Structure 1
Amino acid sequence: MTQPTPIRREPATRQAVRWLQIVAPPTFRAPVSARSWCQCGWERTASDRSAVLALIDAHTAHAAVCPLLDLEGNKAA
Structure 2
Amino acid sequence: MPKSKFFEETYPNLCRFVEEIGWIEIGESEQIDSFVRAYDFGGTVYEGKASYPNMEAALQDLDAHIKEYMDENGI
Q: TM-score range by the shorter chain?
A: 0.3 to 0.5
Q: Report which of the two has the higher share of helix.
A: 2
TM-score normalised by structure 2 residue count: 0.37
